[in-house]
Amino acid sequence: MTTAEMTAAKGASLSRKEKWSRRGPLLPALIFTIIITQAPFLATIFYSLHSWNLLNPGSWGFTGLSNYADVFTDSEFYTAALNTVIVTVGCVLVALVLGLGLALLLDRPFFGRGVVRTMLITPFLIMPVASALLWKTSMLDPTYGLVDAVLGPIGLGGIDWVGEYPMASVLAALVWRWTPFMMLIILAGLQSQPRDILEAAKMDGASTWQTFRFMTLPFLRRYIQLAGLLGSIYVVNTFDEIFMMTQGGPGIATTNLPFYLYQRVFQGFDVGQAAALGVVVVILTIIVATFALRAIFTAISGKEVSE
């Protein structure tokens, strides 16, 4: 080996050592992440290919894809999927509209704005279980709830809102908790809007509605998309409100996919079918999240402007 070849080999060796010296400290975190996230998923796939009911010790056995076939032929699965779409879309749309209105109000200076902003953010800081109990007992109870006290004088009191309108009750609790999240993102967009452009529009004779319709709303488009997509990713996994307020009922009227999965595991004790359902839900969530994140990055990079 010549001197030049020995020098090149030594340089390559040093380069590899340098790379490993930089990557080495990240290995424990990488290994920990793989163990925490991928090992349970691989175990779920393994169980989904087997029959295993905890109430029947002799039920263990390899069944192939029969658990997946049972999931896709189960009518309750489609009802839970439809309820998931209703809860997610309904909550996100209503919370976006309310959040936009509150953000427009908070964008204007007035006495006590800081206190009002803090109070409006508070619902998002409350634990989901606590907010569900608050709505079920203090707000919607037909005997001593606040809604009954307000609507009673006009003849609408005594209504069992959770029992008669379970989906609307769950949506009300979710909208109350997620409106501050939408408001904060839209308010950040409003406060980044250039004021000189708004003043120029006002000097040109544009009305308040025209300024909002043709200048403010297009400027907020990316922020509204970001709030809607992030909210959808979080709301699609709703469990606490449904568990605490309706238990998925009456029947399966408010059962969404996360609660249906819980029922399969902890009430049906059918680990095999529950694992198959979990794999299907994870794959659907990954597909939705992929499109959502792609839309977010497209909105942030501004490529959609060229459409």
Please answer whether residues 132 and 173 qualify as being in contact, where contact means their C-beta atoms are separated by less than 8 angstroms.
yes
Domain ranges of the chain: 43-70+270-302, 74-253
Please answer whether residues 53 and 270 qualify as being in contact, where contact means their C-beta atoms are separated by less than 8 angstroms.
yes
Burial tier of 161 (Cβ tally within 10 Å: 0-12, 13-18, 19+) = buried
Query: What pLDDT does residue 96 have?
Result: 92
Please answer whether residues 219 and 193 qualify as being in contact, where contact means their C-beta atoms are separated by less than 8 angstroms.
yes
Query: For residues 79 and 247, what is the distance between their CA atoms, to the nearest angstrom?
Result: 15
Query: For residues 280 and 274, what is the distance between their CA atoms, to the nearest angstrom?
Result: 10
User: What does the buried/exposed string (b/e) look like for 110-140 if buried means 16 or more CB atoms within 10 Å of the residue's CB?
Assistant: eeeeeeebeebeebbeeebeebbbbbbeebb
74-253 CATH: 1.10.3720.10
169-to-124, 232, 262 alpha-carbon distances in Å: 18, 19, 21
H helices of 128-165, in order, are 128-133, 146-151, 161-164
Residue among 132, 157, 96 nearest 245 (CA): 132
Residue among 42, 51, 44 nearest 69 (CA): 51
Residue among 294, 298, 276 nearest 286 (CA): 294
Query: What pLDDT does residue 12 have?
Result: 56
Question: Per-10-residue mean pLDDT for the chain, 307 residues long?
Answer: 58 68 82 86 89 80 86 88 91 93 89 87 89 89 84 80 90 93 92 84 83 86 86 87 88 89 85 88 82 69 49
Q: What is the pTM of this model?
A: 0.79
Query: For residues 129 and 302, what is the distance between their CA atoms, to the nearest angstrom?
Result: 38
Query: For residues 255 and 239, what is the distance between their CA atoms, to the nearest angstrom?
Result: 9
Query: What pLDDT does residue 306 have?
Result: 42
